[in-house]
Copies of this chain bind each other. A is one copy, B any other.
Amino acid sequence: MNPRSTSRTKPQSLRVRMKEEARAAILDAAEQVLSEQGLHATRMDDIAAQVGVSVGTLYNYFEDRQQLLLALLEVRARDLLALLDAELEQSQGSPYRARLYGFLRCVLEHSQSHFRLFSVLLEEGPRHSRPKDEPAQRRYQQELARELLRRVELLCEDGLRQGALRPEDVRHYPMLLLGMVHSVLFQQFHMKQPVPVDESIAPLLRCFLDGATPRP
């Protein structure tokens, strides 16, 4: 699922590089476990076993469980956001429909390999927040979710500028779009067969842009 997906290639000292590698490996393992067990059920022992190191080692790279999982969310979110930024940048000037298509394609492709995480990102975090727990995680996840939403908003603003979106509802579109995307991902996850991205996007796009009502 995630073969060293975060290959940051900043040239640095060997030691630092290896440390980065190890961190990344741990995060990959954490994602793997989290995908199978869920956020709460993800135990440090399982992550360690997945990486092939001992628990103690995890604590050489992360403050504690909370920080590890937070780092996982952050890294993956940054990856997605960076991807989306690149896509948005590259498609600048294109017609809205094309940009939206590219954007959704980007989200879906990335999220297919990280669905569980994406889902946690949107949903699971705010829960599991007993009063004593640091609200850090919650706030952070919300921030990330907001970042994602912001990209969609930017895109929608462009659609508005292009005259491709109805002005009266435009402020609702980002949210509705993300909702549809989520449902598509969710369904794909449950069917456990990776539906080709295009087959998922096309109806979504038609529905969103043209509506479900037939036209003459």
Chain A interface residues (CB < 8 Å from chain B) = 36-41, 116, 119, 122-124, 126-130, 142, 159, 163-170, 172-173, 175-176, 178-184, 186-187, 189-190, 203-204, 206-214
Partner of A166, one of B38, B182, B214: B214
For residue A175, which residues in chain B have a CB less than 8 angstroms away from its CB? 183-184, 187
Assess whether A172 is in contact with B38, with CB atoms less than 8 Å apart.
no
Contact A179 B172 (CB under 8 A): no
- A122 to B178, alpha carbons, bound, how many Å? 16
A127 touches B176 (CB 8 A): no
A127/B38 contact (C-beta < 8 A), A175-B187, A183-B176, A210-B211 known: yes
Q: Which of B128, B182, B209 contacts A211 (CB 8 A)?
A: B209
Contacts A169-B212, A172-B207, A175-B184 known; list 14 others, CB within 8 Å.
A38-B126, A38-B129, A39-B40, A40-B41, A41-B129, A123-B186, A164-B214, A179-B183, A180-B180, A180-B183, A209-B212, A209-B213, A210-B213, A211-B213
> Which of A39, A165, A175, A204 counts the most chain B CB atoms within 10 A?
A175
Name A123's contact: one of B119, B172, B209 (CB within 8 Å).
B119
- Some 14 contacts from A to B, beta carbons below 8 A apart, are A39-B40, A116-B127, A123-B124, A168-B203, A169-B206, A170-B212, A173-B212, A175-B183, A176-B203, A176-B204, A176-B207, A178-B183, A207-B208, A208-B212
Closest Cβ of chain B: how far from A139's Cβ, in Å? 12
Quick one: closest B residue to A116, CB to CB?
Answer: B127
Contacts of A166 in B (CB 8 A): 206, 212-214
Q: A142 to B190, alpha carbons, bound, how many Å? A: 9
Q: Which residues of B contact A204 (CB under 8 A)?
A: 172, 176
The distance in angstroms between the C-alpha atoms of A189 and B179, with both chains bound, is 14
Give chain B residues whose Cβ lies under 8 Å from the Cβ of A116.
127
- A162 → chain B closest CB, angstroms: 11
CA distance A56 to B165 in the complex (A): 58
